Amino acid sequence: MSAAGAALEAAGAAAGAEAQASGEVQEPPAPALDAGAGYKMTAEGVSVLYSGKEAVRNVTMGFKERSVTALIGPSGCGKTTFLRCLNRMHDMTPGAVVTGRITLDGVDLYSRDVDPIYHRRKVGMVFQKPNPFPTMSVYDNVVAGLRLNGVRDRRALDEIAEDSLRMAFLWDEVSDSLSKPAVELSGGQQQRLCIARALAIQPEVLLMDEPASALDPIATQKIEEAIVDLKRELAVIIVTHNMQQAVRISDYTGFMYMGDLIEFRDTRKLFTDPRHRLTEQYVKGTFG
C-alpha cells in the first residue's frame, strides 16, 4: 500500500519535472517575501474564490513604503480581484472567499480584531470609473471622508481639501469652482477628484484600479504625474492594462496570468530581462 503510494508520488514528481522542462504551463516560482525588507503591506499565499471558482491563486507579494507597485496582466487574470483584497472590498461581494494572510504594518487585516472600516481609512482606493458623489459639490466630495471621521472644523477641512486637491494635480483647475457640482467636471478631473477624495483621509497605502483606463492621454499624463508625486508620501499599488504606464511610473511590477502571480520584480528588470517565458511573451506583446 505504502509502496504503491510512493510510486504514485514519484510518478507525479516526474510528470511535474517534465512539464517544467518542456516549458509548458509552468508552476510559478516558489513565492517568497524578503524578511528584512520592511514591507508596509504584505500578502502571503492569498487566494480568492468567487462562488467556488478560483480567481486568484496563492499570491505572495510585499509592498514597500514610498514606492509604486504595478500589477499587469491580461484581462481576467485576477489583478483587480487581488487588489480589492487589500482593503477588504470583497466583504461586500456575495460568494467571495479570501484565504491567506494580508498584513498592514505586520497586522493581519483579516484577523478578528481588525475593523474593516478603520482599515479602509488607512488604505484608500481609486476605482476604474470615476465615481464622485453626484449630488455633492467638488469641495464636499473631497471632504466627505473627513466629515465621516468627525472633522467639523471649517479651517482644517479647507486646508486638507486644498492639500489633497494639490496632490491630485487638480487644485489649479478647480480652485475657483469648489462649490460646483462634481459631475460638471470632465472625466479626467472627476478621476483626480476621486484621488483627492481618497487622499483627504490621509491613507498610508493607495490602491488604484486602472485609474486612467477611461481617460484620454492628457488626462492620463496628469494622473501619472500625480502618482509619481504621491510616492513621496505613501505606498501606491496600481493595476494597469497599460505596460508603458507601468514602466513610466512604477518601481516594482507584478505580472499575473490566470490567477497566478507569474513574476514580481523590479520594474526595469521585469521588462528588460523577464525570467519567465509567459512574462516575456506578454511584455513583448506576443499575447494579451
Residue 247 found at the interface with other proteins (CB under 8 A): no
Q: Which lies closer to other proteins via its Cβ, residue 146 or residue 283?
A: 146
Applying CB under 8 A, among 59, 125, 157, 256 the residue interacting with other proteins is 125
Q: How far is the CB of 67 from other proteins (least distance, A)?
A: 21
145 binds other proteins (CB under 8 A): yes
Cell numbers 511535474 correspond to 16
Binding other proteins (rule: CB under 8 A), the pick from 161, 170, 201, 227 is 201
Task: Concatenate the DSSP letters of all residues of 139-164 into one string.
Answer: HHHHHHHHHHTT---HHHHHHHHHHH
Q: Is 95 left (phi over 0), alpha (psi -120 to 50) or beta?
A: left
CB of 149 to other proteins, least distance (A): 7
User: Binding of other proteins at residue 50 (CB under 8 A)?
Assistant: no
Binder of other proteins out of 51, 99, 149, 186 (CB under 8 A): 149
- Residue for cell digits 486646508? 159
DSSP secondary structure string for all residues of 179-193: TSBGGGS-HHHHHHH
> Three-state SS for 46?
strand
Does residue 127 interact with other proteins by CB under 8 A?
yes
From the CB of 128, what's the least distance to other proteins, in Å? Answer: 8
Rounded to 5 degrees, φ, ψ at 44 are -125, 120
191 binds other proteins (CB under 8 A): no
The identity of residue 105, as a single letter, is D
The two beta strands, 53-64 and 39-50, are antiparallel
Among 49, 144, 151, 178, binds other proteins (CB under 8 A): 144
Structural contact between residues 237 and 216, judged by C-beta atoms closer than 8 angstroms = no
User: Which residues within the stretch 151-190 sit at the binding site for other proteins (CB under 8 A)?
Assistant: 181, 183-184
Nearer Cβ to other proteins (144/228): 144
Task: Find out whether 121 and 206 touch, Cβ atoms under 8 Å.
Answer: no
Q: Is 132 in the site for other proteins (CB under 8 A)?
A: yes
Which amino acid, one-letter code, is at 283? V
Among 117, 154, 172, 232, binds other proteins (CB under 8 A): 117
Fill in the DSSP letter of residue 129: S
For other proteins, which stretch binds (CB under 8 A), given 40-48, 50-58, 118-126, 271-279? 118-126
Among 98, 138, 167, 194, binds other proteins (CB under 8 A): 194
Judged by CB under 8 A, the stretch of 16-24, 27-35, 125-133, 251-259 that binds other proteins is 125-133
CB atoms closer than 10 angstroms to residue 279: 22
**CA-based nearest residue to 72, from 206, 277, 217, 264:** 264
Instruction: Please identify, among the stretches 72-80, 102-110, 134-142, 166-174, the one whose residues bind other proteins according to the rule CB under 8 A.
Output: 134-142
Q: Which of 20, 111, 135, 272 binds other proteins (CB under 8 A)?
A: 135
**Measured in Å, how far apart are the chain's first and last C-alpha atoms?**
46
Q: Is 50 left (phi over 0), alpha (psi -120 to 50) or beta?
A: beta
Binding interface with other proteins (CB under 8 A): 87, 89, 92, 94, 117-118, 120-121, 124-125, 127, 129, 131-136, 144-145, 148-149, 181, 183-184, 194, 197-198, 201
